[in-house]
Structure 1
Amino acid sequence: MGVLQRNRVNIVGDPDGPVVMLAHGFGCDQNMWRLIVPRLAARHRLVLFDYVGAGGSDPSAWSEERYSSLDGYARDVVEICEELDLRDVAFVGHSVSSMIGVLAARAAPERIGALVMITPSPCYIDQGGYRGGFSREDIDELLASLDANYLGWSSAMAPVIMGNPDRPELGEELTESFCSTDPAMARVFAEATFLSDNRDDLSRVDVPTLVVDCAQDALAPREVGTFVHDHIAGSRQVTLDANGHCPHLSDPDATADAVLDFLDHRR
């Protein structure tokens, strides 16, 4: 199976517009971008895809060896760019995909020309003076709970990650997305995500970068967004007056505004 089929690649929008790649986070797929796609597609060529192990990707292409680190997911990104011969791509990554974008840009600098990081975290674990939001014990418990009862873990964690308890349909959608993911593949991606530490990679980013964080986010506190911004030279930071870790679902207009303004002025 070819790369485009492997990752269920879809291309929409202005065929002559600048290329924007949208990369989903853990437990999600490309459908999570649907609320901002129409606005971005009006002026850009959008490349949507699912990481191997997520959504409608080819499960036979998954291997624990490749996808036990974020580098494996970055290889998916680079291989899609190579297959389509994309250059100067604006890579929009949600959550862990923000760091995957950093790795992809370093591996193929001719392919990635800008980064948009939506609720990024380079490290989820508190270390020294760095506050990632969780202790190592918290993460170990999270992974143990996922191992013991993935569906139960998904039902409990997704609403916390989504926030917006007054809009339960958002948490229900994320729960459904989590529950549709193969538990074994999700476990490997979760460990690669929550045990990663990409703080040192931030100083190597040399493309225009936008950091988008939220006023309230249980998974990536505002201090984390500020840390990312402070450690990427020349980056811009926009803090949305939004609740939760998925503003492209909970506040799509504000998210699209931030992304489009950056894309219009990134040079």
Structure 2
Amino acid sequence: MKKNDEFYVSYIDRSLGPKTKTTLKRFSIIALATIVIGALLFSFFQKPFKNSTFELTSATNITGTYYEKPYPMLRVEVAENTFKNILLLGFGKSSANPYLEKLQKEVKDLNGKNVSIEGNLIYYNGKTLIQITDDEKVILESSSKKRLPEKEVISKMTLTGEIIDPKCYFGVMKPGKGKIHRSCAVRCVSGGIPPVLATTDKNNISEYFLITDLNGKPINKDILEYIGKPSEITGIVEKMEDWSIIKIQVSDIRELDKKSSIY
């Protein structure tokens, strides 16, 4: 060891030598700068969160006309002659059906009846969904039937987009990108969550279509392999107030050779 070398022993002399102090200061400055620059670069390359909302910690009570064609929904009047159709979901990766069974056994046909539901709202891009966590919070308010939403047939169309599970996409997952989230979407749709086709046009305007079979019935397990894969889908498009529906035959789905922009 050279005579000018500093040797620091804390229990003998608590004061640092000038060289040691200088070295520690340089290290601290470099380390701090590295952390700050790394954090800035990390945030710069991250995909921004969507402005979607999932009210996990608060429950909301909504009342409206129940119907289940093609999937369980509640038609709520938000202003005079203006309606919002709220898609009903169950807790976790379940459809709303298990939470409706108790009331359906009592009433037999719930379609057109006034029903109140308490649950957790999910909303994004003009679409609203509600997660039901307790079948005791699904209550018949009136046995008199009300008008159901009318469906207008638009035309046979070929749309380009990706099949998603609306629960995670519209609010539960942010940003929900990657193969893990695609696998999650597959399990959600497999569990009964209604599948939705998400499309985006050249002006970056998104549209969403509930997917059914050609007879307008729910379709889930037959389309699992296409979830999160850019595809062209041909089917009959119908408009139902604030939702659109596409009736398809699975054989008419054509996968495109490009990466997913969602998963």
Task: Tell me the TM-score normalised to structure 2 length.
Answer: 0.23
Give the number of the structure whose residues are more often helix, by fraction. Answer: 1
Task: Tell me the TM-score normalised to structure 1 length.
Answer: 0.23
Structure ID, larger Rg: 2
Give the number of the structure whose residues are more often strand, by fraction. Answer: 2
